[in-house]
Every structure is written in C-alpha cells, then in structure tokens.
Amino acid sequence: MWIGAVVAALLYSQALQEVAKTPAAQETPTTSLAEQTTPAEQAAEAALQAAKAAQTAAQAAQKAVELMEKTHGPAQAQAQAAAAAEAPPPSPWTTSANLNLIFLSGNSSSITLNGKVAVTYKTENWIFGGQIYGAYGRARLEKNERYTDIALQGGVDLRVDRRFVSMLSGYVLGGVDFDHIKSIESRPFAELGVGVTWLDNKVDSAQKTLLTTDFGLRYAYEARFRYYPTDAEIPLLDPADVPTEPRNLPNVDILAPRAAVAFRYMLTDGIGFGEDLEVLLNVLEVKRFWLNSTTKISVRLTNIFSVSTALTFKYDSQPAGDAKKLDTILALGLDAVF
C-alpha cells in the first residue's frame, strides 16, 4: 500500500532534475513569478500532490484494516444470527410428562404412583391443549394382611384458547375428573373465561419469566359415592363388621366463578420455579369454596429430562361425606419435555 507513495517520490525527484537543467533555472532572480513557473515545475508540483494523495490513501487503507479487525466479532455474530434465521421454525407441538413414585417397606408397606401427560399445539392465533392425569396408591401395616387404597383419582381435560391480541385471549375448557377416596365418583365440568398474559420474557428459546391469569365461570356436576367406610363405621375390635357395601351420597351442582394465576421464573440456567394457584366459589352452595396451590422447583438434567420437587395443597370447605377438607402432597418426580 506504500508503493504509490514511493513512485510519487521518484517522479518528484526526476522533475526537480529536469528543472535544474533548463535555461529558465539559470536566469536572474529579477524574472517575474509567473515566468518562473515552468511546465517542469508544474509537473513536479503535481507529482508532490500525487505523493500526498497516495500517503493519505495508504493511511485510510490501514484504518480500514484495523476497523475490520475490531468488527470481526460482531460480524461473525451477525452471520450466526442470519444462519439461525434460515433454520426451520420450531415445532408447534409440545409434549410434557411427569412421573412420581413412592415406595415404602418394613413396618409398613406402601406404594403410590401419580403422573400427568400434557400436549399443546400453538398457532399464531390459536392454542389447543389437553392433559390426562391420575394417582393410585395402596398401603398396609406389616401385621395386617389387608391392603387399603390410599389414592385413586384422575381426570382428563381439553382447552382451546383464541388470542385476540398478544396479551388477551378467550378460552373454553372442559373435562371430567374423579376421586374415590374423597367419595367423588365423577365430576364433569365446562368453563368459559378470559386469559391475560402479563409477562412473557424469553432468553433464546428458554422461558425466563411468565405470568398469566384466568378469569372464568365453571359449571360442574359432582356425582358422589362412598367407596370406603369412615372411621366411625369401622369397629376396631371386630374387623368382620366392616361394611362391604358402598353408600350413595347426594349429588351436587356447582356453579363457580374461577380465578387462577400461573407464574414461572428461571432462577438460574437450568433451575426453574413455578406456582399455580386457583380459587373457586360455588354460588349455589353457601360457604363452599376450593383453594388449590402447587409450588414446584425443577432442575434440568438434559435438554429433555429434569427432576422436580412439588408441594400441593387442595382445600375443599365442604367435601363429600366425612372426607377431610385439606389434602397435602409432597412429591419428588421426573419430568420430560418433547
């Protein structure tokens, strides 16, 4: 890049020599300034200007090289972003599964299994989702040969959301569940409502923060049936007197406004926190309401699998029969997302 400057300098030196050889250079100093400016001197001046221009161009080229070196990193990042943009879009399907198993032996024998599978399909304006879940458990004391069911529940539900804007959507929810331990034979339900997304922040493809709420109206029909006797019906000294026939209970209609909150937060890379809370108030029965809460912490093992710990509270102010009002579940499980 300095070749132009060298050539210009040689031309300037040759021009000076030509000027010295000309007769005009030997004239007396009384000659006017206009007469002293010969074609050779003009050529020399042009060569000097060319040398300066070549030097300026060389400096500019050097600065361009330095600037290119400084911006190489961002340019590479832009190239990677362009390559990512050309990659195929993510699948609209999402499948998740959760499995928890508790097994005890020794003075007592117990096994409890619960799990859930959920599938979601998303488009620009629609979200279709469904899930199936259940729990089963049996236990007995070592001295007792008879096992007793300690968990027998499950359900399935389907949900369709229609997005009006990015923050607001309407939804339809329907399904059926049961809980034989709490004397609920079946409970079909349907719900209409509005969903609001308050926060939805993502880092790359990972969910950083998510906060959503649901406000809806639910109708359910609770068919009750006592599958297991209460403590008052079991004579401790004479197990043969335990009634073997279940007992019918009055069925219940439910019309309840429902409010729900779902919160997700990524504590660190691979560790997430979640909270699901819902409240229902039955307007057909005085003072009956439900409060359900699930708090969960998960640790990612791979891109698919993670382990989780969840604490669940389920409160029913007026349960069927003589069932307890509050159920508490502490579970350690394995999660998978596909």
**Domain covering 93-337, topology:** Porin (2.40.160)
pLDDT range class, residue 2, cuts 50, 70, 90:
very low
End-to-end CA distance of the chain: 58
> What would the pLDDT profile of 164-207 be if each residue is shown by its tens digit?
998 999 999 999 999 999 999 999 999 999 999 999 998 877 78
Within 8 A by CB and 6+ apart from 310, the residues are 294, 295, 296, 297, 329, 330, 331, 333
Tallying the residues shown for the chain, one arrives at 338
pTM of the model: 0.69
The predicted pLDDT at position 79 comes to 57
Domain boundaries of the chain, sorted by first residue: 3-86, 93-337
Q: What is the mean pLDDT of residues 233-254?
A: 64
Quote the percentage of the chain above a pLDDT of 70. Answer: 70
Token pair 């369709």: residue = 160
Q: Hey, is 54 helix, strand or coil?
A: helix
DSSP string, 262-292: EEEEEEETTEEEEEEEEEEE-SSSTT-EEEE
- C-alpha 193/C-alpha 169 separation (Å) is 9
pLDDT range class, residue 29, cuts 50, 70, 90:
very low
DSSP string, 208-240: EEEEEEEEEEEEEEEEEEE-S--GGGS-TT-GG
> What would the pLDDT profile of 38-81 be if each residue is shown by its tens digit?
666 666 676 677 667 667 766 766 665 566 556 555 555 455 55
Structure tokens at 99: 């499995």
Q: What is the mean pLDDT of residues 131-155?
A: 86
Q: Hey, is 150 helix, strand or coil?
A: strand
Which of the pair, 304 or 233, is modelled with greater confidence?
304
pLDDT range class, residue 141, cuts 50, 70, 90:
confident
**Region of residue 300 (phi > 0: left; psi between -120 and 50: alpha; otherwise: beta):** beta
Rounded alpha-carbon distances, angstroms, from residue 186 to 46, 154, 174, 183, 313: 101, 10, 14, 9, 21
Token pair 């197990």: residue = 239
Q: Is 84 exposed, middle or buried (0-12, 13-18, 19+ CB in 10 A)?
A: exposed
pLDDT range class, residue 237, cuts 50, 70, 90:
very low
Identity of the highest mean pLDDT range in 128-137, 200-209, 327-336: 128-137
- C-alpha 100/C-alpha 331 separation (Å) is 7
Annotate 196-218 with b (16+ C-beta within 10 A) or e (fewer). ebeeeeeeeeeeeebbbbbebeb
> What would the pLDDT profile of 270-290 be if each residue is shown by its tens digit?
899 999 999 999 999 778 999
